[in-house]
Amino acid sequence: MMSLKSIALGLLAGVAVLVAPSVRADDEQAGMTAEQFIQSLDFRHGTITVGQAKAHFNLDDQFLYLDQADARRVLEDMWGNPPDESVLGLIVPRSPALTDDDSWAVVVTYSDDGYVSDEDASKIDYSELLQTMQEEIRDGNPERVKAGYGSLDLVGWAVPPRYDAGSKKMYWARELAFNDQDHHTLNYDIRVLGRGGYLSLNAVAGMNSLDTVRAGMERLLPMTEFDAGARYADHNPSTDKIAAYGVASLIGGGLAAKAGLFAKLGLVLAKFWKLLLVGLVLLGGGLKKMFGGKDKPTVR
């Protein structure tokens, strides 16, 4: 049977191995059932302000939002990720619920590296970029395996990259394989360019959820905007900080980006924990008992 250590491969050597999704015993929520944990979260809906990024979401009735504190509770306490202060929030579909086997969520982060020029957007050869990324990932596998974190392969584009020059938004999705497993992982990204950096939306699920996640992310795309004064069109070349990279780097560097890497891997483990460790009884009751509730969350 495959070990958790081999599943939770490290893109960076020496990182800590992620643990099973559960409410940690040393957390103040010790003893909570999954239903109680979900009920304790403050789900919001409608217009959501993300002050740290000077941005906002106009969510329709299919999405809910968790602010930074509750987002980190889900990612760190429920799904076992290391602490990550870069996480600003979590966008959650109303259905499926967080406790469902086919659940997915969108990690929200922001990079303040500066204004990202899109001059190279129309010149990107995405086939060539994919090949380069695949080669770099394969070249790094010996070190990852040696360090005990297993291998990673970029199978290909699950959704080819597309940049909308009008809205200054880019999206793409990758199909990933961990340790040559038959069950591949979907990594879906959205980047929204702004005056001082970019907003990152990242979702991770199994490839069997591609249609659902793709439809959800495409629906979410127009709901994401920077505030007036922080938009891409508000750029002042004489005063604003300029990023040291262009649009192509947003795709090529995405797997190792600081924003959400461990959250992404934690989401992957959450999706495949039961699949890869069938028969292992966890916490005296098993994963289904711990995370099988259907209670509706509190919304405001």
Tell me: the pLDDT tens digits for 133-188?
899 889 888 887 887 778 889 999 999 999 999 999 999 999 999 888 888 889 99
- Enter the tokens of residue 262: 């461990």
Amino acid at 115: Y
Q: What pLDDT sits at residue 103?
A: 85
Quick one: pLDDT at residue 100? 84
Q: Which residues contact 69 (CB under 8 A, 6 or more apart)?
A: none
Per-residue pLDDT, 115: 97
Least confidently predicted of 15-19, 53-57, 100-104: 15-19
pLDDT reading at 281 higher than 50: no
pLDDT of residue 156: 96
Residue 145 confidence (pLDDT): 84
3-state per-residue secondary structure call for the chain: CCCHHHHCCCCCCCCCCCCCCCCCCCCCCCCCCHHHHHHCCCEECCEEEEHHHCEEEECCCCEEEECHHHHHHHHHHHCCCCCCCCCCEEEEECCCCCCCCCCCCEEEEEECCCEEECCCHHHCCHHHHHHHHHHHHHHHHHHHHHCCCCCEEEEEEEEEEEEECCCCEEEEEEEEEECCCCCCEEEEEEEEEECCCEEEEEEEEEHHHHHHHHHHHHHHHHHEEECCCCEHHHCCCCCCCEEEEEHHHHHHCHHHCCCCHHHHHHHHHHHHHHHHCCCCCCCCCHHHHHHCCCCCCCEC
User: What is d(CA 152, CA 147) in angstroms, rounded to the nearest whole number?
Assistant: 13
pLDDT score of 9 more than 60:
no
Percent of the chain with pLDDT over 70: 74
Residue 266 has pLDDT above 90, yes or no: no
Select the more confidently predicted residue: 38 or 21.
38
- The identity of residue 50, as a single letter, is V
Phi and psi for 269 in degrees, rounded to 5?
Answer: -65, -40
Amino acid letter, 45: H
For 77, list phi and psi in degrees, rounded to 5: -85, -40
d(CA 70, CA 81): 14
**pLDDT on residue 39:** 92
Residue 98 pLDDT greater than 90, yes or no: no
Sign of the CA dihedral running 77, 80, 85, 90: negative
143 vs 62: which has the higher pLDDT? 62
Vertex 78: Cα angle to 76 and 81 (nearest 5): 30
Classify strands 47-50 and 55-58 as parallel, antiparallel or unpaired: antiparallel
47 has pLDDT over 70: yes
Determine the pLDDT at residue 30.
Answer: 58
Predicted TM-score (pTM) of the model is 0.77
Residue 16: is its pLDDT beyond 90? no
Question: What is the mean predicted confidence (pLDDT) over 48-55?
Answer: 97
Q: State residue 72's pLDDT score.
A: 93
Beta carbons of 218 and 199 less than 8 angstroms apart: no
Residue-wise pLDDT tens digits, 208-224: 999 999 999 999 999 99
Tokens 């010790």 belong to which residue?
A: 30
Q: Cα(first)–Cα(last) distance of the chain, in Å?
A: 44
**Averaged confidence pLDDT in the chain:** 77
